[in-house]
Copies of this chain bind each other. A is one copy, B any other.
Amino acid sequence: MVNVKKTVNELDPYVPGRSNADLARAYGLDPIKIIRMGSNENPMGPSPKAIKALEENLHRIHTYPESNIDDLKGKIAEYAGVDSENIIIGGDGADEILDVLAKTLMEPGDEYIIHPPSYMYYEFTFNIHGAVPVYARWDIGKNQLDVDSVLEAITPQTKVIFLCTPNNPTGGLIDKKDIKTILESTDALVVVDEAYWEFSGVNNLELLADYDNLFILRTFSKVMGLAGMRIGYGIGDEKFIQYMHRVKPVFSLIRLSYIAAAATLDDPGYIAKSTQLSIQSRDYLYQKMSKFPELKVFPSRANYILVDVRGTGMNSKEISEELMKNGIIVRDCSSFRGLDDYYIRVSVATLEEDERFINVLRDILI
């Protein structure tokens, strides 16, 4: 076999997830009846306007996507209240934006700071490029960022600092003043991941005017209901965005994704209702789960809730399997750096599904 890069040799081997069909088979379930509370998706389904736009464009799938996507860029700029020139759109969700950031900034040995427990894909993407993770800390007890741990982690080699707010999987927000403190303490790019901002009502766009080292990361996979179409975007300094475009894949955003994203932005009623129903579901789940003395339920500003299950006598794998046997997928968080084997993450669902989940939980625990 040919020689692979040293960094790749040191990465963990790839383990594919199990498909819904696989899970259904293993647990003797009807795949259609499986309740998905593991991936922070939009339980309402996609915007009907997106579906309609897709139907009208299926006949064109034999032609390449447009490389010019100014129209969608304009709509996103309007939604975010920034200029088109500050936007870059990713064709593999926000994950592609992460990859483009790594390609633009990271040379072997360069450092980036993350605050575990947080989104694991930062490490997956950046380590490929020989970049070195430096661990700050999310204070689980207070469910807030340990800002000092970030400031102490900064070195002359720091190229990127990731701040996830609301933080996945803990659900807590990062204070705007803490973000400012960090922006002012470094020349590194501060990537503020706002994938879930709509569920919190809080974003950090206003800081863009003052800090050209701020980069905001967003996605169409959550409130926009398009997780399957893989669209993400970044907002940042215009000159920096131009550099990112030099390395961004040209055709990665497929035309159907482009069309679905544009149609969804043209449906503000859908976005508002999605936000509202997700918050409703979150509040319901929080309130109901808090009644189980075996569970420690974390307050959340996102569309998921972190739960410490050690009081149940089961670990996260065991309780996830019990739920799966009843057709409910939640996220076993044992693979998150910074969490032990006793946390699960529960995503919002429809109120009907929420009730079913609570009933199953009751059957398992009581």
Chain A positions within 8 Å of B, measured between CB atoms, are 1-6, 8-9, 11-14, 16-20, 22, 36, 39, 41-42, 44-46, 50-51, 54-55, 58-70, 91-93, 95-96, 99, 103-108, 121, 124, 128-130, 159, 187-189, 212-213, 221, 225-230, 237, 239-240, 242-243, 245-252, 254-257, 260
Residues of chain B within 8 A (CB-CB) of A16 are 67-70
Q: Is the CB of A252 within 8 A of B240?
A: no
CA distance A249 to B11 in the complex (A): 14
Q: Is the CB of A249 within 8 A of B59?
A: no
Q: Is the CB of B2 within 8 A of A68?
A: no
From B22, B130, B243, B255, A8 is in contact (CB under 8 Å) with: B243
Q: Is the CB of B55 within 8 A of A20?
A: no
5 A-B pairs closest in CB distance: A14-B245, A17-B67, A61-B228, A19-B68, A62-B225
Q: Is the CB of B5 within 8 A of A106?
A: yes
CA distance A246 to B130 in the complex (A): 14
From B5, B230, B252, A104 is in contact (CB under 8 Å) with: B5
Say whether, besides A92-B252, A249-B92, A257-B254, A62 and B240 are in contact (CB < 8 Å). no
Say whether, besides A13-B246, A230-B254, A4 and B240 are in contact (CB < 8 Å). yes
Q: Is the CB of A63 within 8 A of B39?
A: yes
15 A-B Cβ contacts within 8 A?
A1-B212, A1-B239, A2-B159, A3-B187, A9-B243, A12-B246, A16-B68, A17-B68, A44-B62, A63-B228, A96-B249, A107-B108, A228-B256, A230-B252, A256-B256
The minimal Cβ–Cβ distance linking A43 to chain B, given in whole angstroms, is 8
Say whether, besides A12-B246, A46-B59, A99-B249, A105 and B17 are in contact (CB < 8 Å). no
CA distance A60 to B2 in the complex (A): 40
Q: Is the CB of B92 within 8 A of A251?
A: yes
Q: Is the CB of B64 within 8 A of A228?
A: yes
Say whether, besides A228-B254, A228-B255, A246 and B11 are in contact (CB < 8 Å). yes
Q: Is the CB of B228 within 8 A of A60?
A: yes
Q: Is the CB of B251 within 8 A of A93?
A: yes
Residue of B nearest to A14 (CB): B245
Q: Is the CB of B5 within 8 A of A107?
A: yes
Q: Is the CB of B228 within 8 A of A65?
A: yes
Besides A2-B189, A17-B67, A107-B108, 19 other A-B contacts (C-beta < 8 A): A3-B105, A5-B107, A8-B243, A11-B246, A11-B247, A18-B68, A41-B63, A60-B228, A62-B225, A63-B227, A64-B228, A65-B230, A108-B108, A228-B255, A228-B256, A229-B254, A229-B256, A230-B252, A254-B254
Q: Is the CB of B5 within 8 A of A240?
A: no
The minimal Cβ–Cβ distance linking A52 to chain B, given in whole angstroms, is 9
The minimal Cβ–Cβ distance linking A248 to chain B, given in whole angstroms, is 7
Q: Is the CB of B64 within 8 A of A247?
A: no
Residues of chain B within 8 A (CB-CB) of A68 are 16-19, 22
CA distance A105 to B247 in the complex (A): 18
CA distance A246 to B5 in the complex (A): 12
Residues of chain B within 8 A (CB-CB) of A124 are 250
Q: Is the CB of B41 within 8 A of A64?
A: yes
CA distance A42 to B63 in the complex (A): 8
Q: Is the CB of B66 within 8 A of A20?
A: yes
